[in-house]
Structure 1
């Protein structure tokens, strides 16, 4: 009877939307890597990850989400140990050490760290819901957050660190952060950003920020109009690719920028541009709409959850998906510096996909085990 109740409250709309996005991602990856022998196995790998991911959603949904509250400390320790280990024996790629290689599978602990931090922070904020929202309350959550973030920064992985910090601040705000502290955080944020820009402009080495990250920021803020190669090349190609798509696109597999390989990393960071060339403004709008639908379903679960812990988990996953989507699209449109964040459920990447579907599984668990929900 209990199992029947669980699946009666399972959010099939959310599951269906995620499945459609994942399958569409496989289709887009197939087109993006067409003719590239080095990436020929990417479609099969992503298909395996998608199949595995759907199973992860169903298994995670069947487990009562409240179980993770009692395991949050162990999960936090496990996440930190994994991140420390990656800095010792991890495999380097693209200027940073982020992966463990296990046979043919690359494991990226920083992706799993996002989900762990959502659970850990949701547990902390739900347990302290009746405590004063003072500096001690903020400080304890900050110590937990930056205790994880510092090891992500050492890889170096600035973009994922920013994602975790955004999740921390958002969950803290949802949990009742007083307005005066929001204003103080805003002032501090602007001050620190201005100071960093000033130091970088003066050529001062800033801890945790690598030269290639500085180049990305400088090229974004002060692009060289005469540059046709280097850091600005792929951004220019992305804009050309998006423009080529027009309203309805050139058709699947018919995008010249993609098929002739002018656009680089087109199956990962810049898959949005590839999608825009093939399916145009209308097609990308539909995909964005589906991603927004996923976020809305997560928010709906959060609002109808039967306790604060479940609500904060669902809010955290919604924030994660929305932030990654917004940043990835912003990078492709050249309104944000290049970050390396993937387009949720669509970009190639096993670790990224598995962490996201694990998050969806947690949201489904909140929906399935909150008996007051009615979908």
Structure 2
């Protein structure tokens, strides 16, 4: 059902010029920022977090729509600063990051916070940030992670479980069991049994389900697809002469690739559990 309007949107956007993309992103980010504020008051609470808002019978997660618009606007701000140094584009991009991160932490959604912050850092690096900024951002990031560990009990619990293996590790253990059960070639489409008891098997742990039913060969194939898209995007960005286009393309494939990597790493127990979907598959 959702594929048809998604294809229509994809084709329509592909015909837009850069200026139209910027204008559309500006409108989109303004609307989504308002909805992210509204989520804190009238949002649907799921597992202790408010991330969804119900509109016309549809549940919408504003942060998902905000992410691409955020990348486009930041790319424009970085490009404007590089084009004319007296334009405080870098400062405005930093203020926008602080605003978005504040709203995400308030939900709380620390996974998306890390994703957005990491992508912003990559784009700032592409724009040629000074070494002083690199050190300052590194210290700020480490401080933010320590603060999250200290302030949010669920963050500390997940990190502790990852480091020690103690506590309730049922979800990640079942994800691992699904991958082991699938071995190299899988048990066949629809024949997975472990997937029936894996929590969030259709979203956060869909990679493990793919591994159980189609095997590790399919897992390597899925990873290869994501790697190809990211490397292809970075290759295109490298050849671009327009700063805005280069930063925008680089930022979009970065946020796409980081989200994919986080989901797959959680499934493979390479990082603490975090509820994050696998793009185009979950």
In structure 2, distance between residues paired with 1:271 and 1:72: 30
- Aligned equivalent of 1:313: 248
- Aligned equivalent of 1:102: 55
Query: Of 44, 60, 79, which aligns to 2:32?
Result: 79
| 1:152–1:187 distance in 2 versus 1, CA, 3 Å | closer
Specify the structure having the higher radius of gyration (Cα): 1
Q: Map 1:293-372 to 2 at 5 A.
A: 293-347=228-282
In structure 2, distance between residues paired with 1:81 and 1:194: 29
Superposed CA offset, 1:103-124 (max 9, x none)? 4421110111111210110110
Moved more, 138-147 or 181-190: 181-190
Contact persistence 2:111–2:274 (CA under 8 A): yes
Partner SS for 1:338: coil
Matched, 1:292 2:203: no
| 1:328–1:84 distance in 2 versus 1, CA, 3 Å | same
Query: Of 252, 256, 260, which aligns to 2:193?
Result: 256
| 1:96–1:167 distance in 2 versus 1, CA, 3 Å | same
Contact persistence 2:186–2:214 (CA under 8 A): yes
Q: Gaps (5+ residues) in structure 2?
A: none
In structure 1, distance between residues paired with 2:148 and 2:188: 44
Indicate the structure whose relative CO is greater, using CA pairs within 8 Å and at least 6 residues apart. Answer: 1
In structure 1, distance between residues paired with 2:6 and 2:25: 22
Q: Gaps (5+ residues) in structure 1?
A: 1-47, 201-205, 348-375
In structure 1, distance between residues paired with 2:19 and 2:233: 17
| 1:243–1:126 distance in 2 versus 1, CA, 3 Å | same
Query: Of 234, 250, 268, which aligns to 2:171?
Result: 234
Matched, 1:144 2:103: no
Superposed CA offset, 1:243-301 (max 9, x none)? 1111111111112212xx22121000000000011111111111111121121232233
Query: Of 160, 185, 204, which aligns to 1:218?
Result: 160
In structure 2, distance between residues paired with 1:188 and 1:98: 25
Normalised TM-score (structure 2): 0.91
CA RMSD of aligned residues (A): 2.1
In structure 1, distance between residues paired with 2:132 and 2:56: 51
Q: CA deviation at 1:89?
A: 1.3
Contact persistence 1:66–1:310 (CA under 8 A): no
Partner SS for 1:128: helix
Contact persistence 1:79–1:116 (CA under 8 A): no
Contact persistence 2:28–2:66 (CA under 8 A): no
Superposed CA offset, 1:173-215 (max 9, x none)? 0000123432343344335545654xx3xxxxx2xx3x33332
Query: Of 282, 287, 298, which aligns to 2:217?
Result: 282
Q: CA deviation at 1:221?
A: 2.4
Contact persistence 2:25–2:72 (CA under 8 A): yes
- Aligned equivalent of 1:247: 184
Q: Map 1:37-186 to 2 at 5 A.
A: 48-70=1-23, 73-130=26-83, 138-186=90-138
Contact persistence 1:171–1:315 (CA under 8 A): yes
In structure 1, distance between residues paired with 2:260 and 2:24: 29
Partner SS for 1:82: helix
Structure 1 stretches (4+) deviating beyond 3 angstroms? 70-76, 130-133, 136-140, 187-197
Normalised TM-score (structure 1): 0.70
In structure 1, distance between residues paired with 2:13 and 2:122: 24
In structure 1, distance between residues paired with 2:197 and 2:23: 50
